[in-house]
């Protein structure tokens, strides 16, 4: 983060005192004052990439007429996983800068779970020389739990190394809440390092309440983006946490949580995206979309803007942004209004970098310097058959719009002694194949709610260890879909009638494409069309699929090691008998 030099301040002071002409003056606009929650009729004088002064009567080398427009601080996303956009950081910037985003705090734990610290270094290297700032948090939970096999491990030494790197400003979301509460030594070493270095610590505590929540927060963890009800959100605010209201592609909690936001706690609330697909970024937007949803749902526009500007800046100790004040970096957004948040122009460091939805600033492509794949799967050893061992099975039940799942008990469909899919009941087979170390681990189960009528879909995006996840009506199509991903190093695939019908290749750890934004979007559209052709009516089944392997979000999930009851943090058998304790 660039600091203000003496030379720069001398110039700012001269402009503020009207002794010198500003580099740029924004005149005639209505300015969002995030400090006081008001609108001001100010001109804005800019020099050295920073705001020199607000007021009137400035001389300037260049003038931008903003009459009838609204000027806001640049938008800040307080929590996102760039890998989940399927775009490398440079292509991500191409997508979000025209939408008014000038800063994000990204948690790279997806790529860290595949490639360790090398993956994080790659993300940091990709973030330089962009018309926006990308700050990172050091992943705290790699692997997320002992219940799955990840591609790498980050211990306390690796976490400390990352926290001392330029651009890393926080400890990433602490998903291992049992480890925090019950004193896991490795977990607490990482927390102690973060506290000693004075960085903020992000949380991840779905459903945590009461004494357990107090024990968790007392470790210095003071944010959460996993709330799903106003009651949960209110309790976490009361315990001193920042509330991150999430509007992602599959996790859309913003509207549900708005009743918890009040004038008295507004300063502790931030808008975040967490996980957002490239088609959503292009069609709906980024933080502009979250702002639109919030305001259309009844939130005061000025409150909403604060939640995407000054609040995240304050939370992450970014003292030179988030408001339109003297000395702050001139990251600004020119808006048509505070209702639909149509972005007419984005300024970064006082330069127009996007206008009318198009990037003006050039972002040069950077070729991969080395092989970024993580794939070690022997296709000859894959077997998806499940021997029938009872009349009932545990089935993962998808909940629309959420990443939490249900535990369903369903009758087995048996065929020649094997448990098979029952597409007429919307139940299909689900498998997780370990892909990083060639262990041969395969977790098998069933899922309800995908809507598949035939064929199979597969992905190497499966939070958080990102093993191969595949769901299908029959084993042969599942094998075809998986083989296609092993062949190309990762991505998304759709198979039907024993042949591959669509594939989006993602050679960067099986998580991101190395192709331009437009090509990734076209490829995603293609695989989505293919899923609709085999019966799936979801907008994004691959995003839903990716969270079925996440053993830190209740209730029932599947990993390469087996079926997981997240609430008990333990494995449970696939087949269920009525005398079992639930």
pLDDT of residue 580: 63
Domain end (from 287, 319, 351): 319
Q: Is residue 14 part of a domain?
A: no
Residue located via tokens 């260890």 = 465
- Tell me the per-residue pLDDT of 62-117, one tens digit each, with 9 for 90 and over: 999 999 999 999 999 999 999 999 999 999 999 999 999 999 999 999 999 999 99
pLDDT of residue 581: 54
- Tell me the per-residue pLDDT of 250-282, one tens digit each, with 9 for 90 and over: 788 999 999 999 999 999 999 999 989 888 999
Q: Are residues 288 and 419 in the same domain?
A: no
- Tell me the per-residue pLDDT of 291-337, one tens digit each, with 9 for 90 and over: 999 999 999 999 999 999 999 999 999 999 999 999 999 999 999 99
Q: Are residues 391 and 266 in the same domain?
A: no
pLDDT of residue 241: 98
Which whole number is the average pLDDT over 32-46? 97
- Tell me the per-residue pLDDT of 468-501, one tens digit each, with 9 for 90 and over: 999 999 999 999 999 999 999 999 999 999 999 9
pLDDT of residue 108: 97
Q: Is residue 275 part of a domain?
A: yes
Please, which pLDDT band fits residue 216 given cuts at 50, 70 and 90? very high
Range of the domain at 452: 379-576
pLDDT of residue 477: 98
Q: Is residue 389 part of a domain?
A: yes
CATH for 307: 3.20.20.140
Q: Are residues 403 and 526 in the same domain?
A: yes
pLDDT over 70 at 1, yes or no = no
Cα–Cα distance measured from residue 175 to residue 428, given in angstroms and rounded to the nearest whole number: 29
- Tell me the per-residue pLDDT of 160-205, one tens digit each, with 9 for 90 and over: 999 999 999 999 999 888 899 999 999 999 999 999 999 999 999 9
pLDDT of residue 334: 98
Domain end (from 294, 319, 344): 319
Q: Are residues 301 and 397 in the same domain?
A: no
Question: Could you tell me how far CA 93 lies from the centroid of its own chain?
Answer: 14
Cα-Cα end-to-end distance for the chain = 51
- Mean pLDDT, the chain, rounded, equals 95
Q: Are residues 84 and 190 in the same domain?
A: yes
Q: Is residue 57 part of a domain?
A: no
Provide the percentage of residues in the chain whose pLDDT is more than 70.
99
pLDDT of residue 460: 98
Please, which pLDDT band fits residue 145 given cuts at 50, 70 and 90? confident
Q: Are residues 395 and 525 in the same domain?
A: yes
Q: Is residue 32 part of a domain?
A: no
- Tell me the per-residue pLDDT of 422-433, one tens digit each, with 9 for 90 and over: 999 999 999 999
Q: Are residues 293 and 387 in the same domain?
A: no
Sheet holding 70-73, edge to edge: 38-40, 30-33, 70-73, 332-335, 343-348, 351-355, 358-359
Q: Is residue 66 part of a domain?
A: no
Q: Are residues 308 and 385 in the same domain?
A: no
Task: Give the range among 119-128, 365-374, 476-485 with minimum mean pLDDT.
Answer: 365-374
pLDDT of residue 582: 46
> What phi, psi does 109 have (nearest 5°)?
-75, -15
Q: Are residues 471 and 563 in the same domain?
A: yes
Please count the structural domains in the chain. 2
Evaluate if pTM is beyond 0.85: yes
Q: Are residues 397 and 515 in the same domain?
A: yes
Domain end (from 289, 319, 349): 319
Please, which pLDDT band fits residue 384 given cuts at 50, 70 and 90? very high
Q: Is residue 288 part of a domain?
A: yes
Q: Are residues 401 and 305 in the same domain?
A: no
Q: Is residue 64 part of a domain?
A: no
Q: Are residues 221 and 297 in the same domain?
A: yes
b/e map of 18-50 (b: 16 or more CB within 10 Å)? eebbbbbbbbbbbbbbbeebeeeebbbbbbbbb
């Amino acid at each position: 983060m660039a600091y203000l030099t003496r030379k720069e301040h001398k110039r700012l002071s001269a402009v503020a005192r009207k002794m010198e002409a500003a580099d740029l003056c924004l005149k005639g606009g209505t300015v969002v004052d995030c400090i006081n929650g008001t609108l001001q009729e100010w001109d804005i004088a800019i020099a050295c990439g920073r705001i020199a002064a607000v007021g009137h009567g400035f001389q300037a080398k260049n003038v931008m007429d903003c009459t009838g427009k609204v000027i806001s601080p640049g938008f800040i996303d307080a929590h996102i996983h760039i890998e989940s956009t399927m775009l490398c950081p440079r292509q991500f910037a191409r997508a979000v800068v025209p939408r008014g985003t000038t800063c994000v705090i990204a948690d790279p734990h997806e790529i860290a779970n595949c490639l360790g610290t090398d993956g994080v270094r790659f993300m940091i290297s990709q973030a330089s020389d962009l018309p926006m700032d990308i700050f990172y948090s050091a992943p705290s939970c790699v692997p997320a739990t002992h219940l799955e096999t990840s591609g790498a491990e980050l211990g306390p030494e690796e976490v400390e190394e990352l926290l001392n790197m330029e651009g890393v400003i926080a400890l990433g979301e602490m998903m291992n809440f049992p480890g925090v509460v019950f004193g896991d030594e490795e977990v607490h070493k990482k927390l102690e390092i973060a506290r000693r270095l004075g960085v903020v610590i992000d949380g991840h505590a779905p459903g945590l309440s009461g004494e357990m929540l107090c024990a968790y927060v007392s470790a210095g963890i003071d944010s959460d983006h996993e709330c799903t009800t106003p009651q949960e959100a209110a309790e976490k605010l009361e315990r001193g946490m920042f509330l991150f209201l999430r509007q992602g592609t599959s996790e859309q909690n913003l509207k549900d949580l708005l009743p918890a936001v009040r004038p008295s706690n507004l300063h502790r609330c931030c808008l975040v995206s967490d996980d957002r697909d490239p088609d959503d970024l292009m069609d709906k937007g980024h933080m502009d979309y979250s702002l639109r949803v919030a305001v259309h749902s009844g939130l005061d526009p000025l409150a909403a803007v604060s939640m995407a500007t000054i609040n995240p800046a304050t939370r992450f100790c970014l003292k030179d942004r988030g408001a339109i004040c003297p000395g702050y970096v001139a990251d600004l957004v020119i808006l048509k209004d505070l209702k639909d948040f149509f972005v007419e122009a984005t300024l970064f460091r006082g330069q127009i970098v996007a206008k009318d939805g198009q990037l003006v600033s050039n972002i040069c492509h950077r070729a991969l310097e080395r092989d970024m794949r993580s794939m070690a799967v022997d296709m000859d050893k894959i077997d998806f058959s499940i021997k029938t061992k009872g009349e009932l099975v545990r089935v993962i039940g998808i909940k629309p719009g959420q990443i939490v799942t249900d535990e369903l008990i369903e009758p087995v469909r048996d065929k020649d002694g094997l448990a098979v899919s029952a597409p007429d009941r919307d139940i299909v087979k689900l498998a997780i194949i370990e892909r990083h170390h060639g262990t041969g681990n395969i977790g098998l189960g069933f899922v309800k709610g995908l809507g598949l009528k035939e064929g199979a879909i597969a992905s190497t995006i499966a939070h958080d260890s990102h093993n191969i996840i595949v769901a299908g009506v029959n084993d042969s199509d599942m094998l075809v879909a998986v083989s296609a991903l092993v062949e190309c190093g990762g991505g998304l695939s759709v198979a039907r009638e024993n042949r591959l019908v669509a594939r989006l290749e993602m050679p960067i750890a099986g998580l991101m494409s190395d192709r331009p934004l437009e090509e990734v979007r076209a490829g995603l559209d293609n695989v989505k069309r293919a899923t609709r052709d085999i019966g799936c009516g979801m907008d994004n089944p691959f995003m839903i699929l990716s969270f079925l392997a996440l053993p830190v979000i209740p209730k029932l999930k599947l990993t390469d090691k087996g079926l997981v009851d997240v609430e008990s943090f333990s494995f449970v058998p696939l087949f269920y008998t009525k005398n079992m304790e639930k």
